[in-house]
């Protein structure tokens, strides 16, 4: 299809100064679900993720490990790419900020900002957090009893004094406030928007955008002594991957401006203040929306190496199964809020919603079909009111799912799908097809047909969250590869009587916690 509307969605690009953790996995899974949703809904999707390889944090970590920075970046970037495969992420590209295409794009956006008169040289003195790669005003920091000064995110700050290029951020205060007003959805969720509006209203200072005390970064055009402040190049990654700066008619240029930047709440300031200001200065179109998810906590505690509760994504996938983990994170965490996970919580969701829910409905109804209807989708006879009501619920589920996804309420979309399964269970139990088998086989056939049709639609809807398991369910009801997108929901894709079915293999086994 040629006329599909482009849809460009990104994750943040992660610092490869260590191995990926569950917070990174969460962001990738959620963004992947959104990208897959849009593809199934007929959009021409470009989904980008990658690694943010420059800056002082990378340089310092490499020094501590005694390896060249590029070696550290290569090793951990490989681990991030591996995680993407493990999680079944459907990203269309993986950007590394050390790539030549990215150095070129970053220098180009710098030149455009300079041409607009927004860059000047001066000297910087102030507080810097290497862990956040962020400058803070003195009143945002606090000297604690341990004698260390901390920034607003609880990371230590150090005094920096050096020659630096500055970006005239202060000149953009009014334009930014107007942007938040004219484009009320530019920042989400609303808590983050309020936070940013009050930050910008409190007054913006010009931003130091280059460093001279280390050289691990993109060189400032025309001044080799300086490398760009890591966030200037990091944010530009979203443009780099589209090739828009190079050629506005290039094959991927149609994806700019991005529809949605998904990020964590700790980096909203960079995306909702600096990024649009840089783009305005470079006279480039602005993204439509920046949406911040919350933090993932282990049983409600922030993860940290010192707490000893850092569980790697691979451990969780090995233990629970990939789609089970994906389902849990998407269903359990209210997208935009912090969320927490525990073995018990994941196990309960698996058993209640997957094993006893959709897995059970599919296996009970389909094995009855295989046994009692010659192994074929049965004829659907005249529909009773109950049948019609059931089909209506399945046919209309997409409306609720779409509405929830349009607000990035992934958890509500998942709940809407699972509620169709519950209705299906109720329908199946109340129609008692096992009793009809002895009294009215035509009626039994209709009930089984309707139930299989519910399974088909639920499976189509589940694809964006659990791609592999949903595909298995669709195989069970013999839906062809080309009949699996949302255009085939409802009447358009009804199961055809006479289609042969295999004996259903279990898709969602029960979770049994290992003995202590
Ligand atoms: O911030 N729960 O990289 P990063 C949920 N390079 N999300 C979490 C999390 C947690 N516990 N911990 C981190 C950076 N994240 C920059 C981004 S974008 C141009 C540059 C999220 O590796 C975090 O909020 O520290 C961010 O969105 C992403 O993981 C990468 O974090």
458-492 confidence digits (pLDDT tens):
999 999 999 999 999 999 999 999 999 999 999 99
At 308, is the pLDDT very low, low, confident or very high (cuts 50, 70, 90)? low
Average pLDDT over residues 14-40: 97
Give, rounded to a whole angstrom, the gap between the first and last alpha carbons of the chain.
Answer: 54
SS3 126: strand
What proportion of the chain, given as a percentage, has pLDDT over 90? 95
User: Half-sphere exposure of residue 88, counting CA atoms within 13 Å on the CB side?
Assistant: 17
SS3 388: helix
User: Half-sphere exposure of residue 423, counting CA atoms within 13 Å on the CB side?
Assistant: 24
Whether ligand 1 lies within 6 angstroms of the CB of 338 is answered as: no
Q: Where are the alpha helices (DSSP H) in 164-215?
A: 173-182, 190-201
Which domains occur in the chain, in start order? 6-113+185-293 (3.40.50.620), 119-167 (no CATH), 352-500 (1.10.730.10)
Which atom of ligand 1 lies at the shortest distance from residue 234's CA?
19
The reported pLDDT for the residue numbered 324 is: 98
At 28, is the pLDDT very low, low, confident or very high (cuts 50, 70, 90)? very high
Ligand 1 geometric centre to CA of 391 (Å): 42
Q: Nearest 5°: CA angle at 72, between 102 and 267? A: 60
The reported pLDDT for the residue numbered 306 is: 55
Which atom of ligand 1 lies at the shortest distance from residue 296's CA?
2
Q: How far apart are CA 167 and CA 210, in angstroms?
A: 9
Q: How far apart are CA 242 and CA 139, in angstroms?
A: 39
If you search the block for the tokens 């990024």, which residue do you land on?
Answer: 275
| DSSP state letter for 159 | E
Q: Are strands 187-188 and 290-293 parallel, antiparallel or unpaired?
A: parallel
Distances (CA, A) of 432 to 319, 362, 386, 427, 442: 37, 15, 13, 9, 13
Largest CA distance in the chain: 89
The reported pLDDT for the residue numbered 515 is: 74
Residue located nearest, by CA, to atom 21 of ligand 1: 264
Quick one: which of 514, 515, 512 has its CA closest to 347? 512
Phi, psi of 171 (to 5 degrees): -75, -10
- Show the tokens assigned to 412: 């509500």
Quick one: which of 107, 90, 76, 85 has its CA closest to 14? 76
Beta carbons of 30 and 335 less than 8 angstroms apart = yes
| DSSP state letter for 487 | G
- Show the tokens assigned to 26: 């969460």
Ligand 1 geometric centre to CA of 436 (Å): 56
Ligand 1 geometric centre to CA of 21 (Å): 10
Which is more confidently placed, 29 or 343? 29
Q: Which of 9, 11, 12 most suits a substitution to test ligand 1, by most atoms within 8 Å of the C-beta?
A: 12
Which is more confidently placed, 305 or 231? 231
Q: Which residues of 301-335 are buried (b: 16+ CB within 10 A; e: fewer)?
A: eebeeeeeebeebbebbebbbbbbbbbbbbbbbeb
Ligand 1 geometric centre to CA of 25 (Å): 10
191-244 confidence digits (pLDDT tens):
999 999 999 999 999 999 999 999 999 999 999 999 999 999 999 999 999 999
Angle of helix 441-462 relative to helix 360-372, nearest 10 degrees, comes to 140
Which atom of ligand 1 lies at the shortest distance from residue 271's CA?
19
- Show the tokens assigned to 182: 């004219």
Q: Which of 59, 264, 301, 341 most suits a substitution to test ligand 1, by most atoms within 8 Å of the C-beta?
A: 264
Quick one: which of 239, 289, 291 has its CA closest to 263? 291
Does residue 260 carry a pLDDT above 90? yes
The reported pLDDT for the residue numbered 302 is: 62
* Contacts for 367 with CB less than 8 Å, ≥ 6 apart: 503, 504
Residue located nearest, by CA, to atom 10 of ligand 1: 23
Q: How far apart are CA 330 and CA 349, in angstroms?
A: 11
Beta carbons of 296 and 338 less than 8 angstroms apart = yes
Residue located nearest, by CA, to atom 12 of ligand 1: 23
381-392 confidence digits (pLDDT tens):
999 999 999 999
At 316, is the pLDDT very low, low, confident or very high (cuts 50, 70, 90)? very high
Average pLDDT over residues 350-366: 97
- ipTM surpassing 0.95: yes
Q: How far apart are CA 221 and CA 403, in angstroms?
A: 46
Partners of 163 in the beta sheet? 123
Average pLDDT over residues 485-503: 97
Which atom of ligand 1 lies at the shortest distance from residue 265's CA?
24
Whether ligand 1 lies within 6 angstroms of the CB of 238 is answered as: no
Sign of the Cα torsion 407, 408, 411, 415 reads positive
Supply the mean pLDDT for the chain. Answer: 96
Determine how many CB atoms are found less than 10 A away from the CB of residue 161: 10
Which atom of ligand 1 lies at the shortest distance from residue 264's CA?
24
The reported pLDDT for the residue numbered 298 is: 81
3-state helix, strand, coil in the chain (%, to 5): 50, 15, 35
Which atom of ligand 1 lies at the shortest distance from residue 11's CA?
27
Ligand 1 geometric centre to CA of 212 (Å): 26
Quick one: which of 46, 50, 60 has its CA closest to 24? 50
Ligand 1 geometric centre to CA of 480 (Å): 38
Q: How far apart are CA 129 and CA 150, in angstroms?
A: 8
Tell whether pTM > 0.95: yes
**How many residues would you count in the chain?**
516
SS3 360: helix
At 113, is the pLDDT very low, low, confident or very high (cuts 50, 70, 90)? very high
Q: Which of 14, 109, 338 most suits a substitution to test ligand 1, by most atoms within 8 Å of the C-beta?
A: 14
41-96 confidence digits (pLDDT tens):
999 999 999 999 999 999 999 999 999 999 999 999 999 999 999 999 999 999 99
- Show the tokens assigned to 79: 């681990």
Q: How far apart are CA 338 and CA 395, in angstroms?
A: 33
Whether ligand 1 lies within 6 angstroms of the CB of 24 is answered as: yes
Ligand 1 geometric centre to CA of 295 (Å): 9
Beta carbons of 13 and 49 less than 8 angstroms apart = yes
Q: How far apart are CA 13 and CA 387, in angstroms?
A: 48
């Amino acid at each position: 299809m040629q006329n599909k509307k482009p849809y460009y969605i990104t994750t943040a690009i992660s610092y490869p100064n260590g191995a990926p953790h569950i917070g990174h996995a969460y962001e990738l899974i959620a963004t992947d679900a959104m990208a897959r949703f849009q593809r199934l809904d007929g959009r021409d999707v470009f989904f980008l993720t990658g690694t943010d390889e420059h800056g002082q944090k990378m340089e310092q970590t490499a020094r501590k490990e005694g390896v060249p920075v590029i070696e550290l970046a290569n090793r951990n970037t490989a681990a991030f790419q591996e995680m993407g495969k493990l999680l079944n992420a459907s990203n269309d590209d993986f950007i590394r900020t050390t790539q030549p295409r990215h150095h070129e794009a970053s220098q180009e956006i710098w030149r455009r900002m300079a041409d607009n008169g927004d860059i000047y040289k001066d000297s910087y003195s102030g507080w810097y957090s290497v862990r956040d790669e962020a400058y803070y005003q003195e009143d945002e920091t606090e000297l604690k009893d341990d004698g260390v000064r901390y920034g607003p995110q609880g990371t230590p700050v150090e005094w920096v004094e050096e020659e630096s290029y500055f970006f005239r951020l202060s000149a953009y205060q009014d334009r930014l406030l107007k942007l938040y007003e004219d484009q009320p959805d530019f920042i989400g969720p609303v808590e983050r928007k309020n936070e940013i509006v009050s930050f910008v209203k409190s007054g913006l200072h010009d931003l130091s955008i280059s460093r001279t005390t280390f050289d691990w970064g993109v060189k400032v055009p025309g001044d080799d002594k300086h490398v760009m402040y890591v966030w200037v190049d990091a944010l530009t990654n979203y443009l780099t991957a589209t090739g828009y700066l190079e050629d506005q008619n290039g094959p991927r240029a149609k994806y700019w401006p991005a529809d949605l930047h998904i990020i964590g709440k700790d980096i909203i300031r960079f995306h909702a203040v600096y990024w649009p200001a840089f783009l305005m200065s470079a006279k480039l179109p602005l993204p439509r929306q920046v949406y911040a998810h919350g933090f993932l906590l282990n049983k409600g505690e922030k993860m940290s190496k010192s707490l000893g509760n850092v569980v790697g994504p691979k451990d969780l996938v090995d233990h629970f199964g990939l789609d089970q983990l994906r389902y849990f994170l998407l269903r359990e965490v209210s997208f935009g809020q912090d969320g927490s996970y525990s073995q018990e919580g994941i196990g309960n969701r698996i058993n209640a919603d997957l094993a006893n829910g959709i897995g059970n409905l599919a296996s009970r109804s389909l094995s009855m079909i295989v046994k009692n209807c010659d192994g074929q989708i049965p004829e659907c006879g005249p529909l009773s009111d109950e049948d019609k009501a059931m089909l209506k619920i399945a046919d209309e589920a997409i409306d609720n799912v779409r509405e929830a996804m349009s607000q990035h309420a992934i958890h509500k979309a998942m709940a809407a799908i699972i509620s169709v399964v519950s209705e299906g269970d109720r329908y199946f139990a109340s129609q008692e097809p096992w009793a009809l088998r002895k009294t009215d086989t035509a009626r039994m056939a209709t009930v089984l047909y309707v139930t299989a049709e519910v399974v088909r639609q639920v499976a189509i809807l589940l694809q964006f969250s659990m791609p592999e398991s949903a595909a298995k369910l669709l195989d069970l009801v013999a839906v062809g590869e080309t009949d699996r997108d949302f255009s085939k929901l409802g009447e358009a894709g009804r199961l055809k009587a006479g289609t042969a079915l295999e004996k259903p293999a279990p898709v969602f086994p029960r979770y049994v916690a290992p003995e202590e």
